[in-house]
Chain A
């Protein structure tokens, strides 16, 4: 265990944990958008920044990526920290003015839309946190979606924004998306996601459409379990 002072309180945390986990473990809330537990940390949203002090030096670090250290003094709500978070929220509100998740978060943090920023109309609710890309690569293992271009031109989607051959329509990306940007429409026997339609598999027992056929085929191939055994929904299993 290592001992630290976080917001004036003595906190200990297991070695090899990240600062964010230690802070939250101590009951202190820290806002995040890109730190989904299912995927690795990218450090892209910058909301979890905290100020650390070592000796006379203090600096801003990303708590989701910074490992705990013995004797660390952490301030999770210093002026510098709050200033970064406020700016991030102002920028995101201007990028995704329609996101209710961001609006609620901004309200809690006391951030307001910056009137000088002209709100975007072409970004949807995507904040480019890359959780979808990571879950597709790290958890699902198909890498059907990725990031394109750079800087403010960056977008997320399947290659060339065309229908992906490797997407299995599982919807894991929808599940991890913090703002609800990714659209998935399921209408019984069909599901549409990333511009491609997937045929849904009905449950052998109850007849309910429960998963894309491509997803079940992929699981069968990966695990060696025969397809027939997978064609029963979780409720009937």
Chain B
């Protein structure tokens, strides 16, 4: 990689790359995000390369970042036709190469089949999962090999930085970001431009910018996929931010459990440095800035700004009171701007296309798009990027394809463990920062966990409280002791030992924790309990008063039985039952011995006739 000493050289380099690029040339892209790697995509990629070599063809196979449609991985796209293949296996590779790549024949069996119309879809953009998305930030993931800076540059990468350095003052950049209305993607939703302005005005040297990649919400992985798949977009945003603020040093705080993200970020930083995009006199300008990676040990609380600073400084990751803001006294008590990595990745877009364009997307007070991770009881698990203001219904039933096995939707948990559970009656809610807050949840970093009628909301609240108890740093009394006591009460309720007045006690503890905790982890910890009490109070009452779990989840409160009308006596449940609780003769209705039954659910999963009743 050559070092580029001015913006002209950058443009020249991009032009050269474009000139060498032949849009008609065959290219096979394969999703190599962590999810698809779990499906074995690397072996598929190797097989693709081997087959191409065997057939003596000149075709590039590019392992790119995450495509988002994790449910159907490994995912492969054949360019330039953009033929979208899903659930590709090694045995499919010879046909892909000899038929599709060589002759342009489409392999019907590898195409996505729309379960509603039962028709196959050839192109990615026509798959219902992708159709309504607006992948401004996430879209390049599927085109770029994240280990090659050239792939980012050919798509116009670092042009926003060049634009800022050559034609905009730092104040101009800040005013553009303010005008765009960009809000922090990590949870707080604070206006990024205001933060930047505060830091620019603050006294103290050096100033820092930090990318927060300490994503820790259960089921959320959009930050990981962004860092893995398009690390330069985060880096470019941070450089622009540093220029605007006057920062000379930056950190990306990423958890060590994201090894691929760490590798790709490290490579990206090195190649950006080689290219003159990081380091002294970036693109020849009177502006120097560099980025280091700080690897976190995986504590959820380290996503909180002051705990994150403590962790980078080498101290235990515990928050402190933030009465003096980080923009004035942050990392090592110096002015610091901390934004989520997704927030940073939005910045180049705003600078390139302008604040007016950006502000035209989204709702009144929440601009742009947001990446959500759609997980749980949903047909299409994956990452989606949609404009702010899309309804939950469109997300869950449109892109998400609804609930598996035709079951009934019950709730969606947004905002991670400190968010809230939103019921069916609010499915038409337009998702943005303010609407989610109004209904007792929050945007958080964009996790969406979908639950069906077989999810017990008391059990769900218990799960999240258990997570938070384990992740509480333990510094302040309300969070350390209070969350633990709430969990104990919830455990009692689920075990049939709930007492009259428990719900009111939970509310009392919640108010005290929310008001009295030192940081936002404690402050928002009661949300899963408060939101489930608000929308599913009757489930709490059923557990406490009737010793009944309506969803059939809490083991102490349920019994299994077999419906003799439905049971065909196939014997499958007898085979799968680990405790030999099921008995019966072949072709005659079976029975369950409840003294032996552990309510593990294996029989329910195995029964093809829906004959197991849970009460």
Binding site for B on A (CB under 8 A): 42-46, 49, 60-62, 65-67, 80, 83-84, 86-88, 91-92, 94-95, 114, 116-118, 127-128, 130, 147, 149-154
Contact = CB atoms under 8 A, between A and B. Distances in A.
A80 B474 contact: no
The 9 closest A-B pairs by CB, nearest first: A87-B512, A84-B516, A154-B474, A91-B481, A151-B472, A65-B321, A151-B474, A152-B484, A46-B516
Contacts of A88: 477-478, 512, 516
Interface residues of B, number: 36
Interface string B489-509: 100000000010110010011
A218 B156 CA distance: 64
17 contacts: A43-B518, A44-B476, A66-B323, A80-B515, A88-B512, A88-B516, A91-B485, A95-B481, A116-B485, A117-B488, A147-B474, A150-B471, A150-B474, A151-B470, A151-B472, A151-B474, A152-B481
B518 A62 contact: yes
Contacts of B174: none
Contacts of A92: 477, 481
B518 A152 contact: no
Contacts of B516: 46, 49, 60, 84, 87-88
A91 B474 CA distance: 13
Given A91-B481, A92-B481, A150-B471, 13 more contacts: A42-B475, A43-B320, A44-B477, A61-B321, A62-B321, A84-B516, A114-B485, A116-B485, A117-B488, A149-B474, A151-B472, A151-B484, A152-B481
Interface of B: 299, 301, 316, 320-321, 323, 469-478, 480-482, 484-485, 488-489, 499, 501-502, 505, 508-509, 511-513, 515-518
Contact of B478 (A65, A91, A152): A91
A117 B316 CA distance: 29
Nearest to B510: A87
A195 to B, nearest CB: 22
A81 B380 CA distance: 46
A118 B491 CA distance: 13
Given A61-B323, A128-B480, A150-B299, A84 B474 contact: no
A49 B474 CA distance: 18
Nearest to B511: A83
B470 A116 contact: no
Contacts of B476: 43-46
Nearest to B478: A46
A58 to B, nearest CB: 11
Contacts of A91: 477-478, 481-482, 485
A87 B484 CA distance: 13
A116 B472 contact: no
Nearest to B319: A43
A94 B474 CA distance: 16
A96 to B, nearest CB: 10
Contact of A128 (B474, B505, B517, B518): B474
Contacts of B477: 44-46, 88, 91-92, 127-128
A118 B481 CA distance: 12
A94 B477 CA distance: 12
Nearest to B481: A91
A150 B480 CA distance: 9
A200 B548 CA distance: 65
B518 A151 contact: no
Contacts of A42: 475
B522 to A, nearest CB: 10
B323 A67 contact: yes
Contacts of B512: 83-84, 86-88
A43 B513 CA distance: 14
Contacts of B489: 116
A185 B321 CA distance: 37
Contacts of B475: 42, 44, 128, 130
B505 A116 contact: yes
Contacts of B481: 91-92, 94-95, 152
Contacts of A95: 481
Contacts of A147: 316, 474
A168 B492 CA distance: 46
Contacts of B484: 151-152
A88 B516 CA distance: 9
A130 B511 CA distance: 25
Contacts of A117: 485, 488
A61 to B, nearest CB: 7
Contacts of A44: 475-477, 518
A40 to B, nearest CB: 11
Given A61-B323, A116-B489, A150 B515 contact: no
B88 to A, nearest CB: 43
